[in-house]
Amino acid sequence: MLVNGDKILHDAKVGKYAVPQFNINNLEWTKNILEECQNQNIAVILGVSEGAAKYMGGYKVVSAMVNALIEELNITIPVCLHLDHGTSFESCKKAIDAGFSSVMIDASKHELEENIRITKEVVDYAHEFNVTVEAEVGHIGGTEDNITASSTNATLEDCLALVNGTNIDSLAPALGSVHGLYKGEPNLDFETMARINENLSIPLVLHGGTGIPDYDIKKAISCGISKININTELQIAWHEAVKKFVSENPNSYDPRKVIGSGKDAMKEAIQAKITMFNNK
């Protein structure tokens, strides 16, 4: 069942656990994530970056593929199809029109006033279609979709201004996490995270989940994080297994075997994250 982010994230906030967002890149990725989350019986958010959507043939292709997999694989857990880091109103509108149930508008590269203006435009359109909206304040650094950015941490004042000025459904405040691999230990600002959580009723989102140690994940959840995004970690798990398969089977050229050889490693990585996010 395709759902928006509303109930699954509020349930997580109340229950003090985090819903995973796993980013998808292709059919196999989507299938593996859906199967493993169904197996674990947890709600999942499928994150689709603009680059990944383009790679897969566009938002309509992604939406049709996800809906068809839910039906054909008998997936009964709540599944949220979410645009990750939408960069403009037009991009978010395209995803919504194609059937996405949730979008992130990331106007965080603009000044706060402009971020609020763009985000509000997306919220006004999305809410007409029961689509939930996540937005970013401060700026999450690191590398994603081959784009590298530097970080600026969010302040409580800016978070309040963005939320009150837009009516968004969830907030991703930049507080030290980065996309991709960390250079050294992550340094998250838990104090500001907790203060933001005390002053807001909407769920908070942690981007850059790859490489954040177990104890920091637990602390982040206790500070109000209800959704954690994972992309790079699944890519690395998949890649390690495929490299091994190719070196051991140099004459195997069937793409189903080559791509499929990363399946178990991906599922193990998904399982580990789910255990961590549910405080098990």
211 or 224: whose CB is closer to ligand 13P?
211
- The interface with ligand 13P within residues 64-93 (CB under 6 A) comprises 84-85
29 or 245: whose CB is closer to ligand 13P?
29
93 or 207: whose CB is closer to ligand 13P?
207
Name the 3-class secondary structure at 207: coil
- Reference 196, options 177, 217, 172, 214; nearest CA is 172
- The interface with ligand 13P within residues 144-163 (CB under 6 A) comprises 144
Count the site residues for ligand 13P by CB under 6 A: 16
- Judge whether 97 counts as a catalytic residue: no
Least separation in angstroms between residue 152's CB and ligand 13P is 16
Q: Following DSSP, what letter does each residue of 99-141 receive, concatenated?
A: T-SEEEE--TTS-HHHHHHHHHHHHHHHHHTT-EEEEEESB-E
User: Distance between CA 5 and CA 61 in Å, rounded?
Assistant: 21
- The interface with ligand 13P within residues 186-245 (CB under 6 A) comprises 207-210, 229-233
Least separation in angstroms between residue 136's CB and ligand 13P is 9
- The interface with ligand 13P within residues 175-194 (CB under 6 A) comprises 179-180
166 or 232: whose CB is closer to ligand 13P?
232
Least separation in angstroms between residue 66's CB and ligand 13P is 17
Least separation in angstroms between residue 233's CB and ligand 13P is 6
Q: How many CA atoms lie within 13 A of 147 on its CB side?
A: 12
Could you say whether residue 102 binds ligand 13P (CB under 6 A)? no
| Catalytic residue (one of 6, 84, 106, 216) | 84
The answer to whether the CB of 248 falls within 8 A of the CB of 223 is no
79 or 178: whose CB is closer to ligand 13P?
178
User: Distance between CA 128 and CA 17 in Å, rounded?
Assistant: 29
Least separation in angstroms between residue 172's CB and ligand 13P is 8
Query: Would you call 273 exposed, middle or buried from its count of C-beta atoms within 10 A (0-12, 13-18, 19+)?
Result: buried
DSSP code, position 274: H
- Reference 203, options 272, 280, 102; nearest CA is 102
User: Distance between CA 72 and CA 132 in Å, rounded?
Assistant: 26
Enzyme catalytic residues:
84
Q: Which residues bind to ligand 13P, rule: CB under 6 A?
A: 23, 47, 84-85, 144, 179-180, 207-210, 229-233
